[in-house]
Amino acid sequence: MRQILLTGITGQLGQELQRTLLPLGNVTATERGGIDLAQPMRIRQAIREIKPDLIVNSAAYTAVDKAETETELAQSINAVAPLIMAEEAQRLRASLVHISTDYIFDGLKNTPYTEEDTPYPLSVYGESKLAGEEGIRQVCDRHTILRTAWVYGAFGKSNFVKTMLRLGAERDEIRVVADQVGTPTWARDIAKAIAQLSQLNLEKTQEPPPGKTYHFTNSGIASWYDFAIAIFEEARKLGYKLKVQRVVPITTSEYPTLAQRPAYSVLSHQKISAVLGSYPPHWRQGIQQTLLELYNFSDESNYS
Ligand SMILES: NC(=O)c1ccc[n+]([C@@H]2O[C@H](COP(=O)([O-])OP(=O)(O)OC[C@H]3O[C@@H](n4cnc5c(N)ncnc54)[C@H](OP(=O)(O)O)[C@@H]3O)[C@@H](O)[C@H]2O)c1
């Protein structure tokens, strides 16, 4: 039976991957306590013990603003750790699937970014993720790098949906940035795409397939403001009790953050759609299911 090593299982994507990777083999699902990605020797040791056929790295340093001041830690988890995984995967002739981000782009385009566009990160987080990609490409033949964006889902510690629900229950008015445009993407749809890609990767056992970079997000385009409106519309339909009466569109300059974000980070999914045989679902589709799951997980008295 194929051995699969999955990192980051306490994260929003990692939780979903635990389920979608199950049909592919024996999944060793790890969290920080098992393999701390800030400890290179521990990563090597674990991979040498498990001898995986496939490594799926969904763990990352994802605190975009905090990374501006925790540069070394972000670099260590997002750049050094993936490089070590890539070296060990190459040693074992194993496959490595790694997740990257739209924040490697500067957002100056106004048409969807393709895999061939030149990255130019605006933040420490983006730089560290780009360095992770570059290290993997240099040392591991059987790699797949999947760039995604604006991830949300029912699992993990925080995301935009959870923040909007919290603020929406507390405040009459919420101000949301309307001049950053991207594509909200449901973690479950990413996890399904990764399982499909991993299956294809594992099937190519004779010759090392050339490494590939793909963009995967849900379909469509939205601003954070559009995303917030959709969350509240769907939440009200489901019976969430919300205090919010007004969602006010604001500019990025009215909501300063430590890290600079791309104004436009829509990713083209032409390439991955050709491989998977279908276009990703529209971004609004996952919201209702996520809200239902959050509703069911929660102490219902919070909402109704
Ligand atoms: N979130 C987004 O909007 C977004 C957008 C584009 C791309 N991505 C990429 O998508 C992937 C998945 O993101 P996500 O949203 O699922 O992230 P997430 O919910 O923040 O989860 C990150 C995971 O990484 C783990 N982790 C962090 N530091 C670690 C360490 N030192 N050792 C071991 N594990 C560690 C976390 O463990 P703890 O629970 O212990 O902290 C958690 O399981 C990442 O590669 C991210 O860069 C995310």
Give tens-digit pLDDT for 96-112.
Answer: 999 999 999 999 999 99
| The pLDDT of residue 301 | 39
Q: Looking up tokens 């990563």, which residue turns up? A: 43
Whether residue 209 has pLDDT greater than 70: no
**Quick one: which H or E segment has residue 100?**
strand 95-101
Domain assignment of residue 151, yes or no:
yes
Domain assignment of residue 227, yes or no:
no
Give me the CATH number covering residue 78. Answer: 3.40.50.720
Residue 76 in 3-state DSSP?
Answer: helix
Domain assignment of residue 64, yes or no:
yes
How many domains are there within the chain? 1
7-34: average pLDDT: 96
CA of 92 to the centre of ligand 1 (A): 25
**Range scoring the smallest mean pLDDT among 140-154, 197-211, 280-294:** 197-211
- pLDDT band for 296, please (50, 70, 90 cuts): confident
Question: Using one digit for the tens of pLDDT, what is the confidence trace for 260-269?
Answer: 999 999 999 9
Burial class, 229, CB count within 10 angstroms (exposed 0-12 / middle 13-18 / buried 19+): middle
Residue 28 in 3-state DSSP?
Answer: strand
**Quick one: which H or E segment has residue 171?**
none
CB atoms within 10 A of CB 83: 19
Domain assignment of residue 302, yes or no:
no
As a whole number, the mean pLDDT across the chain is 94
Domain assignment of residue 252, yes or no:
no
Domain assignment of residue 216, yes or no:
yes
125-137: average pLDDT: 98
Region at 204 (left for phi over 0; alpha for psi -120 to 50; beta for the rest): beta
Query: What torsion do the CA atoms of 131, 136, 139, 142 make, to the nearest 10 degrees?
Result: -170
Tokens of 243: 């205090």
What is d(CA 277, CA 53) in angstroms, rounded to the nearest whole number? Answer: 25
Residues with CB under 6 A from ligand 1: 8, 10-14, 31-32, 36-38, 58-62, 77, 99, 101-102, 129, 148-151, 156
| Closest among 285, 183, 300, 167 to 234, alpha carbons compared | 285
- pLDDT band for 24, please (50, 70, 90 cuts): very high
| Candidate from 32, 37, 65, 214 with most ligand 1 atoms within 8 A of CB, to mutate | 32
| The pLDDT of residue 152 | 97
Cα 200 from chain centre: 20
The DSSP call for residue 66 is G
Q: Is the pTM of this model over 0.85?
A: yes
**Residue 273, domain extent:** 3-158+183-220+265-282
- pLDDT band for 211, please (50, 70, 90 cuts): low
Residues forming the active site: 125
Domain assignment of residue 290, yes or no:
no
31-45: average pLDDT: 95
Domain assignment of residue 245, yes or no:
no
CB atoms within 10 A of CB 25: 17
Closest-CA residue, ligand 1 atom 44, reads 60
